[in-house]
Amino acid sequence: MTQDTRVATPNIGGSSNDKLSLKVHPRVLQALGWNLVTSDVIAILELVKNSYDAFATSVDVKFSIDPRSGRPILEIIDNGIGMTLDVIRDVWCVIGTPFRLDNPFVYKGGKKRRVSGEKGLGRFAAMRLGKQLEIITKPVDEGYCHILVKWDELLSSKNWESVGIEVIDSPHDFIRTSSGTTLRIHDLRENWDPYADKSKIDELEAQLSRLVLPYNKSNDFTLIFTPPGTNSGSKEVLPPDIFNYPPYLIEGDFDESGKIKFRYCYNNGINSTEQSGEIDTKDEYNKCDFDCTMFGSYKFEFRAWDTNPDDLIELNRRFNINRNATELQKDILSFSGVYLYRDNILVLPKSSRKKDWLELSPRRVSRIGNRLDDKNLVGYVEISADHNQKLVDTSDRERLVENPAYDHFRKSLIYIIKKLEGFREKVREEPGHSEPPMKNLFADMLSSELVEKYEKLPEGTPKGDYLRLAREDQNKRVKAVGEIEKRFYYYSRLASIGIIAVFLQHEVGNHTVSIESFINHLKELFSKDKKVPDITLKRLDLVEKSVRTLKRLANKFAPLANRAFKSGKRSSGLVEIVRDCVQINEKTVNKFGINIILPKGEYIVAVDPGELTTIFLNLIDNAVYWLIDNKTNSPKIVIEVKTHSPTNYSLTVLVHDNGPGIEEGQQERIFWPGVTSKPEGIGMGLTVTSELVSQYGGKMYLIQPGDLGGASFGFDLPIRRDNGN
């Protein structure tokens, strides 16, 4: 008898009428309540947003004690349209209901409001907050509905039918308006005791204050907060007073064609300026690096402060804010960030850990320069569901889906912030756009000018005149201290880089010596063995070149790693160094077809090779970057050398390119520490380069206009004399 080894296969499209149905275990609620709502603060925000979607004009978030149980409860009370029992059964009790997708607007008293929720999951935020949820709701001209949801019983049940939601028929007077809903959350899962964790309560108040777009005159929405604590009183949630007095403000519209209409204001309590304008970003496409058709139109408003204590003290004094500098710093830090709103309601960030979703802090590598970050900037960006359909928030409500629209949208916002940074920097800097020498700063500190002015005052001069002179002198010295502090901060950063450079030189030096020794050993062995494959020899050559590259890299750091040697004691072949710097950029230069013309002949200069490499590498790197960024036709870099009379032991180096050139107003400032136009630059390249040139008795300068229509730099270097110096 033969055994049948055939395997039965599914009957696809067969005649059986049996069907399987999907079932959802009640524990799915736990995933919805804990995984999609990631914190208690976000849970409360979601419930308040539900009140907003119910067309509430007032919401009270209230921590109190339940008189029946004597235990803490959380109440969220609104005056919205309320719910009928049918709506509770057919909409509220349906997980993931498409009701909001099908009904994107809510109506009340002849007015219309766009709702914020659409996934039908926000109500499960209440489950994260407490074990029981009591809902008392009343529509207009109808009676009360009262239900009780026991979440833990639902989670522990085997199926939906075994545990229901209790409907209570008895009337209640929780709602004292014509309509509305009261949520009462019992058996709170977290401790909201202000003495145990006040930071969480402060964060909740801060988040509530910006849930609905601030400064919108048409807002018809008020939030009242009653924090936990026996002595806590109710108060309207508003941003701190400091936000009404930003020294720097830019606001406007970004339309779908890529045009920005903006208004910039500066007001420090004494001086004020205002400027309006329009920017067509398509005309500046090469600088913008974003496509405005990807994300749609939006409105924006950015407010910024100088947050050092002296500036805040002055701001407080001029506007009578009645807060000290420490309190103002805390206010700004607690409420700062860029906030995105869709149809007037907050989209993100919902938590402090997602606060810097634009990644502004990495751009601001130090407090040198003019960059803003999420600590001294408050931004409000308003999009709409209709005009920004590709900007979609994730299910956990903490971020937007990272798609191309989101990427281009972020870049457009950073572009606007950079405009504000530019306006701010022009205000902060003195006329003349030059950085004062360090000795001048100390001269201001040591000046006897005040004494001389006192001596010139006639006898019997009123006390007020003396005070006026003293204040003028004090302001001058405070400013000098600020400049000195800023400069020393920058040089301390250079000192830190020097420590890193010493380590790099030490490690690279030690390891390359052993590698070179091994390479020489292999070469000696291979010279005796005629059967070594050519591929092995080629790879050995590549390794040897790599070691030379590492040594050149370490040599570039020599100026920062060791400042003990005296300038001019070592010499360099100028053209050889330039060729090395071009070779480092060889791949990019070839890819973009950049024509680099080197000087003819050979010039030996009394400059350390590492320092000379740093000078040329910075200049060539900058030129290559801007030629590529500007998409320059027939990109070109020309390096010239001009010699002088035999008695003049120096030569002049000129570096030209045909790129976009230096932005108007930035001609002197480009040599300042921390100033850069590169989106990810740190603003140290030209500062270090010009400092190195000055140590050899020269001065780096910008030539206007550039010889090739772009940027042109010139500087002098000492020639090595016959005695080797």
Highest mean pLDDT among 34-43, 134-143, 421-430, 444-453: 134-143
pTM: 0.57
Query: What is the tally of structural domains in the chain?
Result: 4
CATH (domain of 64)? 3.30.565.10
CATH (domain of 393)? 3.30.230
pLDDT at 422 over 90: no
Last residue of a domain, one of 235, 263, 282: 235
Same-domain status, 273 and 340:
yes
End-to-end Cα, the chain, rounded Å: 106
In a domain, 254, yes or no: yes
In a domain, 2, yes or no: no
Same-domain status, 285 and 401:
yes
pLDDT, one tens digit per residue, over 629-642 is 888 899 999 999 99
Q: In which domain, by residue range, is 279 found?
A: 241-428
pLDDT of residue 119: 59
- Three-state secondary structure call for residue 47: helix
Q: Are 715 and 653 in contact (CB under 8 A)?
A: yes
pLDDT of residue 634: 92
Residue 608 vs residue 559, higher pLDDT = 608
In a domain, 345, yes or no: yes
Same-domain status, 285 and 165:
no
In a domain, 202, yes or no: yes
pLDDT at 438 over 90: no
Same-domain status, 125 and 34:
yes
Residue 698 C-beta-side C-alpha neighbours within 13 Å: 28
pLDDT at 665 over 80: no
pLDDT of residue 698: 85
Residue 608 vs residue 570, higher pLDDT = 608
Same-domain status, 141 and 58:
yes
Highest mean pLDDT among 56-65, 265-274, 352-361, 540-549: 56-65
Average pLDDT of the residues in 82-104: 84
Same-domain status, 531 and 584:
no
pLDDT at 481 over 70: no
Hey, how many other C-beta atoms are within 10 angstroms of the C-beta on 78? 27
Same-domain status, 417 and 508:
no
pLDDT of residue 563: 46
Average pLDDT of the residues in 121-136: 85
Same-domain status, 57 and 105:
yes
Last residue of a domain, one of 235, 255, 286: 235
Q: In what order do the strands lie in the sheet with 595-597?
A: 595-597, 636-643, 650-657, 712-718, 701-702
pLDDT, one tens digit per residue, over 148-164 is 989 888 888 877 766 77
Instruction: Return the HEC string of 432-463.
Output: CCCCCCHHHHHHHHHCCHHHHHHHHCCCCCCH
Kindly indicate the confidence band of residue 368, based on its pLDDT and cuts at 50, 70 and 90: very low
Same-domain status, 210 and 356:
no
Average pLDDT of the residues in 492-505: 54
Question: What amino acid occupies position 486?
Answer: K
Same-domain status, 380 and 336:
yes
In a domain, 19, yes or no: no
pLDDT, one tens digit per residue, over 324-345 is 888 888 888 888 889 999 888 8
- Residue entry with tokens 């909409």: 91
pLDDT of residue 595: 94
Same-domain status, 623 and 651:
yes
DSSP E strand stretches across 221-373: 222-226, 235-236, 248-254, 259-267, 272-280, 298-304, 337-342, 345-348
DSSP 257-280: TSEEEEEEEEE-SS-EEEEEEEEE
Nearest to 716 by CA among 701, 708, 669, 705: 701
Same-domain status, 65 and 180:
yes
In a domain, 81, yes or no: yes
In a domain, 62, yes or no: yes
pLDDT, one tens digit per residue, over 282-299 is 765 445 678 888 899 999
In a domain, 563, yes or no: no
- Three-state secondary structure call for residue 222: strand
pLDDT of residue 221: 86
pLDDT, one tens digit per residue, over 693-712 is 887 888 888 988 889 999 99
Last residue of a domain, one of 534, 556, 578: 556
> Given its phi and psi angles, is residue 49 left (phi above 0), alpha (psi -120 to 50 degrees) or beta?
alpha
pLDDT of residue 487: 56
Residue 555 vs residue 529, higher pLDDT = 529
Altogether, the residues listed in the chain come to a count of 725
Buried b (16+ CB within 10 A) or exposed e, 22-53: eeeebeebbebbeebbbbbbbbbbbbbbbbbb
pLDDT of residue 447: 60
pLDDT, one tens digit per residue, over 384-409 is 988 888 888 776 666 788 888 998 99
